[in-house]
């Protein structure tokens, strides 16, 4: 769908929400909601998006929205879907609905992981969207299992003892693919058409679908507000955040940079990696580069692309 | 919509918010220190600013980007100006 045409769809997520200035969760949610063709039931796990889009007595959602605890947005939405299926079977409802659960990386990778895994395994006809900003930003930038190695957070503080988070991030997209669900995609908002296309595919898929979307957090990444979208492009060009989809077990690469850039370019623009450029920490950047290359080659291989 | 001073009889059961999308009535424009100005002469109508705006403040009517930006909600992040391929958007101090 061309953006010009996309702009003619109705607004489902409104302005007046209180996400920070430059928060990329805003455009991600807006575009995904616009890709849905049916009225939707939305649930959101505790996180920035939830608390800032539904501050009483205001709501930024034009669809039915269910406020959730941290761990159960997938469980709640799967329950709604099951109830809807039953009502439809009894002939009490005819209209089609989309069932969407939103979660940040904390509510998806960590706390909501078991309910997400359960909902996907049970095969509910729903879409789970994770907007991944790489830490618990809502509560004040604590590390999550999505935080990249080397990042300075309040629970992995860079100092004399450690240089930021010591572990690599978890590859949740692969874990969701291992659930053998019909549609999984890891995407990025700097390609809005690809994002909407993936969302549309997810909505049209019968059965569970999972979208993992990179969303810049200027507060937590210590980056400039206007660089939000640019950074997601740098992430794709440095192969830190590869874009791919897995449709019925078939891996497909969605973006291949013309020239792969070194990870320094990604690290340098964010204050959370500032300490990595101090003397004595060069080896961490080398480690991150090596890890990124390995992961990129693995994805190329899975997608049947040439290295 | 529930207003300050409303009693329990005025509030919908369960604390439900019955006006979908009423966040629009809440103005976040006061957060801004710089405001975007769109130059329609340079604009190529690519809609990237429309897609990237976190506050749904770039408006489009019948497939044409409007130079009337929703300043009631724009927080002045500058993503639109940064991403515009032809530099048609300028950030000006309030």
CATH number at residue B74: 3.30.70.20
Is position B61 within any domain?
yes
Q: Look at residue A1 in the predicted model and tell me its pLDDT.
A: 78
User: How many structural domains is chain B composed of?
Assistant: 1
Looking at the complex, does the CB of residue A31 fall below 8 Å from at least one CB of chain B? yes
Residues 3-32 on B with a CB inside 8 Å of A are: 3, 15, 17, 19-28, 31-32
Shortest CA distance from A195: residue in chain B: B51
Mean pLDDT of A288-306: 96
Q: Note the ipTM here.
A: 0.95
Determine the structural domain holding residue B53 and report its residue range.
Answer: 32-93
Is position B1 within any domain?
no
Is position B19 within any domain?
no
Is position B57 within any domain?
yes
The secondary structure of chain B, three-state, reads CCCCCCCCCCCCHHHCCCCCCHHHHCCCHHHCCEEEEECCCCCCCCCHHHHHCCCCCCCEECCEECCCCCCCCCCCCCHHHHHCCCCCEEEEEC
Is position B40 within any domain?
yes
Q: Look at residue A307 in the predicted model and tell me its pLDDT.
A: 72
Q: Look at residue A8 in the predicted model and tell me its pLDDT.
A: 94
CA A129 – CA A193 distance, rounded (Å):
17
- What digits encode the pLDDT tens for the residues A81-97? 999 999 999 999 999 99
Q: Look at residue B1 in the predicted model and tell me its pLDDT.
A: 87
Mean pLDDT of A45-56: 95
Do the chains contact at A6 and B24, CB–CB below 8 Å? no
What CATH code is assigned to A3-302?
A: 3.40.50.970
- Beta bridge partners, B38, equal B89
- What digits encode the pLDDT tens for the residues A228-266? 999 999 999 999 999 999 999 999 999 999 999 999 999
């Amino acid at each position: 769908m061309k953006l010009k045409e996309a702009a003619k769809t109705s607004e489902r997520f409104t302005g007046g929400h209180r996400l920070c200035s430059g928060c990329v969760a805003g455009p991600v949610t807006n575009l995904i909601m616009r890709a849905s063709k049916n009225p939707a039931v939305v649930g959101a796990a505790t996180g920035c998006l939830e608390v800032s889009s539904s501050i009483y007595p205001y709501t930024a959602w034009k669809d039915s929205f269910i406020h959730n605890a941290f761990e159960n947005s997938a469980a709640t939405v799967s329950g709604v879907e099951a109830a809807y299926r039953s009502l439809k079977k009894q002939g009490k409802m005819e209209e089609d609905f989309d069932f969407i659960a939103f979660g940040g990386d904390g509510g998806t990778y960590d706390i909501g992981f078991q309910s997400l895994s359960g909902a996907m395994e049970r095969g509910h006809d729903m879409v789970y969207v994770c907007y991944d900003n790489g830490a618990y930003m809502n509560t004040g930038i604590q590390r999550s299992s999505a935080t990249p190695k080397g990042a300075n957070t309040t629970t992995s503080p860079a100092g004399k003892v450690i240089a930021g988070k010591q572990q690599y991030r978890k590859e949740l997209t692969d874990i969701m693919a291992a659930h053998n669900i019909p549609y999984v995609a890891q995407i990025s908002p700097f390609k809005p058409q690809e994002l909407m296309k993936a969302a549309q595919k997810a909505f049209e898929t019968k059965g569970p679908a999972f979208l993992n979307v990179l969303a810049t957090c200027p507060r937590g990444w210590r980056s400039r507000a206007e660089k939000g979208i640019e950074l997601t492009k740098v992430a794709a060009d440095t192969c830190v955040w590869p874009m791919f989809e897995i449709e019925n077990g078939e891996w497909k690469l969605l973006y291949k940079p013309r020239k792969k850039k070194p990870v320094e370019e990604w690290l340098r623009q964010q204050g959370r990696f500032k300490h990595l450029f101090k003397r004595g920490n060069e080896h961490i950047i080398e480690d991150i580069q090596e890890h990124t290359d390995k992961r990129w080659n693995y994805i190329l291989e899975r997608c049947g692309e040439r290295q | 919509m529930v207003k300050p001073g409303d009693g329990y009889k005025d509030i919908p059961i369960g604390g439900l918010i019955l006006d979908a999308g009423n966040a629009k009535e809440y103005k976040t424009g006061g957060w801004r220190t710089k405001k975007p100005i769109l130059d329609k002469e340079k604009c190529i109508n690519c809609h990237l600013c429309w897609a990237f705006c976190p506050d749904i403040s770039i408006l489009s009517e019948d497939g044409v980007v409007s130079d009337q930006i929703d300043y009631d909600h724009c927080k002045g992040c500058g993503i639109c100006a940064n991403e515009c391929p032809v530099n048609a958007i300028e950030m000006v101090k309030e």
